[in-house]
Amino acid sequence: MLILMKPEATEADIAEVMGVIQSLGFAGHRIPGAQRIAIGITGNQGAIDPAHFVRVGGVAEAVAVSKPFKLVSREVKVEDTAITLQAAGGAAAQFGGGRFAVIAGPCAVENRDQLLITADAVKAGGATVLRGGAFKPRTSPYAFQGMKEEGLKLLAEARARTALPVVTEVVDTRDIELVAEYADMVQIGARNMQNFALLEAAGSLRKPVMLKRGLSATIQEFLMAAEYVVKNGNYQVLLCERGIRTFETMTRNTLDLGSIPLIKRLTHLPIIIDPSHGTGDWRSVPALARAAVAVGADGLMVEVHPDPAKALSDGPQSLTPPKFAEMMVEVRAVARAVGLEA
Amino acid sequence: MLILMKPEATEADIAEVMGVIQSLGFAGHRIPGAQRIAIGITGNQGAIDPAHFVRVGGVAEAVAVSKPFKLVSREVKVEDTAITLQAAGGAAAQFGGGRFAVIAGPCAVENRDQLLITADAVKAGGATVLRGGAFKPRTSPYAFQGMKEEGLKLLAEARARTALPVVTEVVDTRDIELVAEYADMVQIGARNMQNFALLEAAGSLRKPVMLKRGLSATIQEFLMAAEYVVKNGNYQVLLCERGIRTFETMTRNTLDLGSIPLIKRLTHLPIIIDPSHGTGDWRSVPALARAAVAVGADGLMVEVHPDPAKALSDGPQSLTPPKFAEMMVEVRAVARAVGLEA
Amino acid sequence: MLILMKPEATEADIAEVMGVIQSLGFAGHRIPGAQRIAIGITGNQGAIDPAHFVRVGGVAEAVAVSKPFKLVSREVKVEDTAITLQAAGGAAAQFGGGRFAVIAGPCAVENRDQLLITADAVKAGGATVLRGGAFKPRTSPYAFQGMKEEGLKLLAEARARTALPVVTEVVDTRDIELVAEYADMVQIGARNMQNFALLEAAGSLRKPVMLKRGLSATIQEFLMAAEYVVKNGNYQVLLCERGIRTFETMTRNTLDLGSIPLIKRLTHLPIIIDPSHGTGDWRSVPALARAAVAVGADGLMVEVHPDPAKALSDGPQSLTPPKFAEMMVEVRAVARAVGLEA
Amino acid sequence: MLILMKPEATEADIAEVMGVIQSLGFAGHRIPGAQRIAIGITGNQGAIDPAHFVRVGGVAEAVAVSKPFKLVSREVKVEDTAITLQAAGGAAAQFGGGRFAVIAGPCAVENRDQLLITADAVKAGGATVLRGGAFKPRTSPYAFQGMKEEGLKLLAEARARTALPVVTEVVDTRDIELVAEYADMVQIGARNMQNFALLEAAGSLRKPVMLKRGLSATIQEFLMAAEYVVKNGNYQVLLCERGIRTFETMTRNTLDLGSIPLIKRLTHLPIIIDPSHGTGDWRSVPALARAAVAVGADGLMVEVHPDPAKALSDGPQSLTPPKFAEMMVEVRAVARAVGLEA
């Protein structure tokens, strides 16, 4: 159930609605919009009688929400949610609301030189957010697991140097405070998309969360995972499509660009594309980056490494800095063609 | 094994190479290129000793071809194959070689009015090839199975009226001569991608063949299916990616745009995208059409119907003529941005 | 719509019902049962008013059929359909109706010796039907394509020698009369499961048809494919689950045993399991054969080759004759445990 | 790399090998076998020169281990690992080593009555381990999330009453000590199969861990996840196949029984089957339970609820107590047929 308030509704009206919701034993969520306030109701199993609300002052309408995801739904909030990141002294990067931003950097933070060289290079190429993994979820326990806190400190140094905001992954609830202290946006990776304890913890952060689609997550499960974060109070969720698992093995994953227009109809949250994981081959990354812009995504996340052959993870899918710069030229041309402001 | 001839090689040199191949019990296939002739060898199970060829006059190199597909491989023919269709009195539509063309029309030919109205509309919107099914493969034996030869005649009438070449599907070897008599390009659909008897019959046609990827066909199987056609002597094969089957059910299929740059590296054959089957929802078609151009495809195939709600098949994924015309404006803008000539 | 006749209904009653169906423009299908006749109605798009039938003499009930498959549905025919094969001088092999039979033989007929040795061996091991492919659908046009009519003649010789009925595959409508002349049961393979022209042709045969599930066919599509055969008048359809295509690559296919109890609830047709294609590894075949019996399948189809290392196709999944004999001992023990008569 | 010691090797020999491993910067893991000790080496990225070891006294052989999983591999340990659970005053339940055990109980602990009634019923029916979720991972944040610690206490009460050992799920590293305090075996669910922090924490427990295969996990990823637990020192890992995600939607998951013989060739760890999640329909559970025994699994996990229609989760796939008892009769008959001791 969604209560749409009139534009002229007062704080007292809103408080009255909240009181009715509480008296019914449910939870009310205030959802600010451009024109007016809406109030989402959760905690109910079945339908709620709209009669409870229609006589309260300031209420325009009480609307039943048909999808299992509620707070992330377009039914509840018609306007796009935009997410803005900005580091001290730097430019703002905006995802959604008609603007487009590019996250780039190494898969993993490997050492100071590798990170700073890459950070300088992606900034020069046109990226407005820096990525780099300090905690790495790896299929093998014998593979490089990341530099952990040391890596976070290097990311902070790279941010201070380049004025690029940073996004980095968290893999365990025990580390989330630490990661959030260093990161401008906290990433929850594909393998943790249904780590519900981690989602709930991310919902308590006061920083944006980037949520990657799980390898075999349906669109509905993906949006339900975002709902976990939003339900806990954090409305700043950036979705990321990074390819799903199918029978095809010649590409690392199957990038599901066909889902983007559908997802944009279903939710107000912004969504970006990761063509690096989506294809697993740097030679295919620029083409898919162009396609991502053309299909209507709100941004990109791309892996860049100064020496991919020596990368400790994901070398085959990492662009060199010159290839990244070339890609950005192509991406900007397509963005102009579809009327996006990069 | 591929024998690359020197640019100055004579017909006598070529005949000598062919003779050696025959004496080994294999088959030689002449593959003309811009600069020089190559000769593909098929029929061998394992490796052939290059020593058989390197001493023949005019031979530049004998190259082992590592992929199971041979004649369709980039290793065998470096230059793009382009496929051109043209109806009497009309403009040429070219797929590949840096040019882009759009096929549009109804899923099924339903009656004379429906077809002619749609043909006029897609021509007005900018399509250069007309599609329409006369033989329809349907999951249910109780569904409309197509107008068969009557439908083919209507397609011929629509071609005469609009000067658009036509593509239509064949579903059985017994009908292929009949379909080829009416069609400018013969389509083999996704469900018949591994109907090897039909592929072989298509290899004997003197008309281009459009081959759609099977719902669960790997990229390698897709190219091997094309190899069946080419091996039988028909080099005019246009590939079509139309979405694969995955666990996701909110979209009809999962359009595998990530495969396009890879397929273009593997084969010289042109490839187009079908965003109608790829998404199953007309609201997503324009976005995926833009993405298809951006990713580097050589064309599009789009379903258009004057009254989708009454379509006998695939109504939910059919564009109305005005929506198709809008889509074409967007597609042309992206094509210009990526340097394609539409 | 299904018309259930009373046990005492006369031929005149049935004729009257058929007449009503025809006058409505639909088709009636007579479905004999143990107790009484039922008449299935097809050709209608929507619901039919039961009032057309309830007043006709001998009609017990007019029942709406909820599934898209009709004639193959349990709603239409409650009793199991059993399929019996028998060669001159040999024992009957029965699939369904509480009995279990085993088909075995080589993937492909390669030569006379190979086939006769294998036929003798599988008979000795306990198989009651012989398999062997004469027309082989192969992913590569360069792979062995089968001995064709010569192979069919060898199968007939093997049948005469062993008194085992034979099943062999047809891949093209142009060959179906020829194949049916030699075979006791005609196989339609996984890649042709939606070759609707072939299904219709099989529906006109007077011999049983074994229909394999397509690599990416849903259960509903599988049953709709069987409906094509039955609708054309051939009620003798034996289903075969042979594994579906999934993301897993360590097994050749993913054998979907979990579908068997569901399929048995949905349809009256018998279903067997092919553990050879289902796993792709002879070492796994006996375990899956045991599981197939335990789960409630009506039979098995197993590949056996006297020298798997030299097989022209599917060697890695073929059992040797001694391994096949061992497997049969295990299979019989499980069959007894679940109350099946082998 | 695996170092196989001679049967007569002394503790001093072993210590010398361990010293060489440490001097190379790697870790040695002692793996006791029936006849002799083996020492697994981990921490190396590439191949290790066997020359380091072959001259040490007591070393029989230094074997390169080709699979990415090491400690869980059959190459490292030939004999089956068996896992035994036993509650005070109760009988031992053994998984593996030729014995078979059945875990049963409700999906979620809902209240005291529900749990105790079910515990009594599954014990009466022949289960030797009780299951019940206290922490529930749910797709929707609005669904019942489990009774948490209160549920653990009820499980302890049920164990005291029935003398059945209990298995229950942990979903977050912060709770693992608490869960392990109450549980006899700790479950890591399908959605957490690649929650590597949780796997590592489970590796530090002194209790057996049941690891469920992820919805889209390959067999190799499944074994690598087990490797995380074993590498951290906990060798008591019970694998559980519970169905994978495929294109089929008529069954909840696709139970991958075809993987069982392969997994048993690859690893010494025991594996059980969960036919409840594997099919999602109680009517299919008994058939798949029989198949699981026949295919060679080491046990079953089955959901039972006294009133499935009112279950707070997974009602449609839960057996009633009488149906569970019937199933056990069938399962025991098949177990006897394949020579298993239940």
What is the Cα–Cα distance from A123 to A120, expressed in whole angstroms? 5
Contact (CB<8Å) A338/B336: no
Please state, as a whole number, how many other Cβ atoms lie within 10 Å of the Cβ of residue A97.
15
Helices (H), A232-320: 259-266, 275-279, 285-295
Least CA distance to B248: which residue of chain D? D247
D187 CA to chain C: closest CA distance, Å?
24
Range 198-217 of D in CB contact (< 8 A) with A: 198, 200, 214-216
Among A168, A267, A166, smallest CA distance to A220 is for: A267
Contact (CB<8Å) D171/A227: no
- Give yes or no for residue A189 having a pLDDT over 90: yes
What is the Cα–Cα distance from A184 to A205, expressed in whole angstroms? 11
Q: What is the mean pLDDT of residues B108-118?
A: 97
pLDDT at residue A5, rounded to an integer:
87
- Give yes or no for residue C195 having a pLDDT over 80: yes
How many helical (H) and strand (E) elements, i.e. helices and strands, does chain B have? Answer: 10, 14
What is the Cα–Cα distance from A117 to A136, expressed in whole angstroms? 20
Q: Is A224 in contact with D140 (CB distance < 8 Å)?
A: yes
**Which of residues A59 and D46 earns the better pLDDT score?**
A59
Contact (CB<8Å) A246/C247: yes
3-state secondary structure of B176: helix
Q: Which residues of A305-339 are buried (b: 16+ CB within 10 A; e: fewer)?
A: bbebeebbbbbebbbebebbbebbebbbbbbebbe
For the purposes of burial, counting CB atoms within 10 Å of the CB of A144, is it exposed (0-12), middle (13-18) or buried (19 or more)?
middle
Q: Is C247 in contact with D216 (CB distance < 8 Å)?
A: yes
CB pairs under 8 A between A and D: 81
Lowest mean pLDDT among A209-213, B46-50, D107-111: B46-50
B246 CA to chain D: closest CA distance, Å?
5
For the purposes of burial, counting CB atoms within 10 Å of the CB of B242, is it exposed (0-12), middle (13-18) or buried (19 or more)?
buried
Among A315, A339, A335, smallest CA distance to A327 is for: A335
pLDDT at residue C50, rounded to an integer:
80
Residue C34 pLDDT class (50, 70, 90 cuts) = low
* D139 residue type, one letter: T
**Which of residues A180 and B16 earns the better pLDDT score?**
A180
- Using a CB-CB cut-off of 8 Å, the residues of chain B touching C313 are none
Least CA distance to C249: which residue of chain A? A247
- Is B256 in the A-facing interface, judged by CB distances under 8 Å? yes
Q: Which residues contact B189 (CB under 8 A, 6 or more apart)?
A: B137, B169, B171, B212
B70, B195, B231 ranked by CB distance to C192: nearest:
B195
- Give yes or no for residue D210 having a pLDDT over 90: yes
Which of D254, D293, D328, D330 to probe by mutation at the C interface, max C CB count within 10 Å? D254
- Using a CB-CB cut-off of 8 Å, the residues of chain A touching B342 are none
Which of D215, D246, D247, D254 to probe by mutation at the B interface, max B CB count within 10 Å? D247
Among D323, D218, C95, B166, smallest CA distance to A215 is for: D218
Average predicted confidence (pLDDT) for chain A: 93
- Give yes or no for residue A118 having a pLDDT over 80: yes
What is the Cα–Cα distance from A38 to C227, expressed in whole angstroms? 52
Q: What is the mean pLDDT of residues A65-81?
A: 87
Please state, as a whole number, how many other Cβ atoms lie within 10 Å of the Cβ of residue C232.
15
The CA-atom distances, in angstroms, between C37 and each of A41, C7, C19, C59 are 56, 7, 16, 10
Helices (H), A24-175: 51-54, 112-125, 149-162
Please state, as a whole number, how many other Cβ atoms lie within 10 Å of the Cβ of residue D51.
8
Rg (C-alpha) for chain D, rounded Å, is 21
- Using a CB-CB cut-off of 8 Å, the residues of chain D touching C338 are 290, 330, 333-334
- Using a CB-CB cut-off of 8 Å, the residues of chain A touching D44 are 142
**Which of residues D76 and C89 earns the better pLDDT score?**
C89
What is the Cα–Cα distance from B107 to B125, expressed in whole angstroms? 17
3-state secondary structure of B132: coil
Which of A69, A262, A300, A336 to probe by mutation at the B interface, max B CB count within 10 Å? A262
- Is D290 in the C-facing interface, judged by CB distances under 8 Å? yes
Least CA distance to A193: which residue of chain D? D191
Q: Tell me the two tokens of residue D93.
A: 């339940």
- Is A342 in the B-facing interface, judged by CB distances under 8 Å? no
Q: What is the mean pLDDT of residues D285-314?
A: 95
Tell me what percent of the residues of chain A surpass a pLDDT of 70: 98
What is the Cα–Cα distance from D239 to C331, expressed in whole angstroms? 26
Q: Which residues contact B231 (CB under 8 A, 6 or more apart)?
A: B29, B42, B71, B203, C141, C142
- Give yes or no for residue D216 having a pLDDT over 90: yes
What is the Cα–Cα distance from B82 to B271, expressed in whole angstroms? 10
Average predicted confidence (pLDDT) for chain D: 93
Please state, as a whole number, how many other Cβ atoms lie within 10 Å of the Cβ of residue A233.
11
Q: What is the mean pLDDT of residues D32-41?
A: 77
- Is D227 in the A-facing interface, judged by CB distances under 8 Å? yes
Residue C46 pLDDT class (50, 70, 90 cuts) = low
Contact (CB<8Å) C261/D278: no
Give residue C116's Cα distance to chain centre: 24
The pTM is what?
0.90
What is the Cα–Cα distance from D37 to C153, expressed in whole angstroms? 60
For the purposes of burial, counting CB atoms within 10 Å of the CB of D99, is it exposed (0-12), middle (13-18) or buried (19 or more)?
buried
Please state, as a whole number, how many other Cβ atoms lie within 10 Å of the Cβ of residue B98.
11
Q: In this predicted model, what pLDDT tens digit does every residue of C231-263 receive, in sequence order?
A: 999 999 999 999 999 999 999 999 999 999 999
pLDDT at residue C122, rounded to an integer:
98
- Using a CB-CB cut-off of 8 Å, the residues of chain C touching A246 are 247
DSSP A320: P
- Is D258 in the A-facing interface, judged by CB distances under 8 Å? no
Alpha carbon distance, N-terminus to C-terminus of chain C? 36
Q: Which residues of B193-204 are buried (b: 16+ CB within 10 A; e: fewer)?
A: bbbbbbbbbbbe
Tell me what percent of the residues of chain C surpass a pLDDT of 90: 73
Lowest mean pLDDT among B55-59, B247-251, C11-15, D105-109: B55-59
Q: What is the mean pLDDT of residues A279-284?
A: 96
Residue B45 pLDDT class (50, 70, 90 cuts) = low
Q: In this predicted model, what pLDDT tens digit does every residue of C73-108 receive, in sequence order?
A: 998 899 999 999 999 999 999 999 999 999 999 999
Helices (H), B167-218: 176-182, 196-203
What is the Cα–Cα distance from A62 to A34, expressed in whole angstroms? 19
